[in-house]
Chains A and B, each alone.
Chain A
């Protein structure tokens, strides 16, 4: 079964520090991999989208990397801010026989940034 696993489940860091969130997936082949940020009580908001052929994509202080050989992706947050406190969700879009399948969501990593 296609799966998307994220680690850690939760993470607490101090403001200004960097952190890296991990995503391992078994979805193959896939069309693209996305990272979303979800604030408490809000809908997910897209941070980055990478096709299977891309290795890295940045969005401000957020940098996502993708290693399709090892089926791993990471999201690196630089110089964290209190507003980065949220859940971060890794999402993979499979590719089935010439067409894209429905998104497969990880359970998310809950990040808390403390002053």
Chain B
């Protein structure tokens, strides 16, 4: 009963580097999403997916890519990291009624 697993928990990148934040869920949820949380702001949706092979943009998609090749995994890619992408990133999953999202424990990313 792992729920939603995010890796890594902490990461420091240099400006211009690329990396992938991993998210995996074992609840067979169709819906998965990525949020970022910044001080003094509510969580903001980056990208989401309603099933394997289907992704869509959220409120703040610029600078991020996603793919959904399996139901279980939903990685978030930063192609060229910028200091503005310093944030805490949360992955969440739920069934398509979207009641009761389950969130991961987060990835704290610092871009220097």
**Known contacts A49-B99, A102-B58; A89 and B105 CB within 8 A of each other:** no
- Point out the residues of chain B lying under 8 angstroms from A42, CB to CB: 105-106
Is B48 an interface residue when CB atoms closer than 8 A count as contact?
Answer: yes
> Which of B12-20, B37-45, B64-72, B78-86 interfaces with chain A?
B37-45
Measured between beta carbons, the chain A residues less than 8 angstroms from B59 are: 102
Residue of B at shortest CB range from A93?
Answer: B98
- By a CB distance below 8 angstroms, the chain A residues around B106 are 41-43
With the chains together, A32 CA to B59 CA distance in Å?
A: 20
What residues make up the interface of B, taking CB atoms closer than 8 Å to A?
A: 4, 33, 40-45, 48, 58-59, 90, 92, 98-101, 103-106
| Shortest beta-carbon distance from A2 to chain B in Å | 11
Chain B residues with CB under 8 Å of A107's CB are 40-42
Name B's interface SS: loop
Count of A-B contacts with CB under 8 A? Answer: 43
A46 at the interface (CB under 8 A from B): yes
A49 touches B42 (CB 8 A): no
A interface bracket (residues with beta carbon within 8 Å of B): 10 to 19
Q: Is A64 positioned at the interface, with any CB of B under 8 Å from its CB?
A: no
Taking a contact as CB atoms closer than 8 A, the residue among B4, B33, B42, B90 that contacts A106 in the complex is: B42
| Subset of 17 A-B contacts with CB under 8 Å | A4-B42, A41-B106, A43-B4, A43-B90, A43-B103, A43-B105, A43-B106, A46-B101, A89-B43, A102-B48, A102-B58, A102-B59, A103-B43, A104-B42, A105-B42, A105-B43, A107-B41
Q: What residues on A are CB-neighbors of B58 within 8 Å?
A: 102
CB-defined contacts of B44 to chain A, threshold 8 Å: 105
Distance of B33 from chain A, by nearest CB (Å): 8
Complex-state Cα separation, A69 to B37, whole angstroms: 30
